[in-house]
Chains A and B, each alone.
Chain A
Amino acid sequence: MPITVRIPTPLRKITGDKAEISATGHSVMEIVDAVGKTYPELAVRLKDEKGGLRRYVNFFLNDEDIRDLKGAETPVKDGDTLSIMPAIAGG
């Protein structure tokens, strides 16, 4: 099931300046893994050393925070958009 993945500006250097890429999978984690296969450097930025999604990165499926859905296991369907958005933070 192809879905659209929106890449934030700082990570577009990895995707060759592409703001959107297409990926196939059944869950958010499968999508992230599929993206990571094409762009291994992206996987490192999106997943922590335990293989989970980085808390510091927000993932929105369409307009919903996946933390309010089923997290990494949230199912995705054809035509969905997964937006990756780093947290905006400071001291």
Chain B
Amino acid sequence: MTATVRLARALYETILRDGEKAAPREACGFLFGAPDGPIAEAVPIRNAAEEMRAESPGEFQRSAETGYVMDPKEQLRALRAADEKGFTVRGVYHSHVEVGAYFSAEDRTRALFDGEPMFPDAVWVVADIRQKRGVGAKAFAWNPSGREFVEIALEII
């Protein structure tokens, strides 16, 4: 597990602008890059929380203002496009609106599937949106030895 994630300022800005545009709803997206290179792309994905909740309220309880679910088709399209470039999922980002950037219990639960991290080596970036302005972000990563998500340093370069 890395202790610091380095993110180009342009990508950081993409994340904050996506969060500002989506507010009061949450924004979400992927961070892609070559496995051994820098994070190269921030790709916004539509938050489909409302439709998912309407279709399956038992499995998705949250509105788009307090949760996100990546649109499945956009998710697949983005993953395929990244794959063609030789990129892997280096991170997942989403925004929190008016509550601060932290990795919530829901974030922790959903970042696991069957008790295992969906993307073991990925960083999870949470953007802090206040009154439609992106004011910061924090990063979290899976710590395999402690089997939990922990905050790591986010360095904007």
Contacts and interface: CB of A to CB of B under 8 A. Distances in A.
Interface of A: 8-11, 13, 45, 54-56, 58, 60, 63, 65, 67, 83, 85-91
Contacts of A65: 72-73, 76
A8 B80 CA distance: 14
Nearest to B99: A91
Interface string B34-53: 00000000000100010010
Contacts of B117: 10
Interface of B: 28, 45, 49, 52, 55-56, 58-60, 62, 66-70, 72-73, 75-76, 79-80, 92, 94, 104-107, 110-120
Nearest to A54: B59
Nearest to B66: A91
A1 to B, nearest CB: 23
A55 B72 contact: no
What secondary structure prevails in chain B residues at the interface with A? mixed
Of B55, B106, B111, B116, the most chain A CB neighbours within 10 A belong to: B116
B76 A10 contact: no
B49 to A, nearest CB: 7
B116 A88 contact: no
What secondary structure prevails in chain A residues at the interface with B? mixed
Contacts of A11: 113-114, 116
Of A10, A58, A83, A91, the most chain B CB neighbours within 10 A belong to: A91
Closest 10 CB pairs of A and B: A91-B106, A10-B116, A55-B56, A90-B107, A10-B113, A89-B69, A88-B70, A58-B72, A86-B113, A91-B104
B69 A88 contact: yes
Contact of A91 (B45, B105, B113, B119): B105
20 contacts: A8-B118, A9-B120, A10-B114, A10-B115, A10-B116, A55-B52, A56-B60, A63-B76, A65-B76, A87-B70, A87-B110, A88-B28, A88-B118, A89-B49, A89-B70, A90-B67, A90-B104, A90-B110, A91-B66, A91-B105
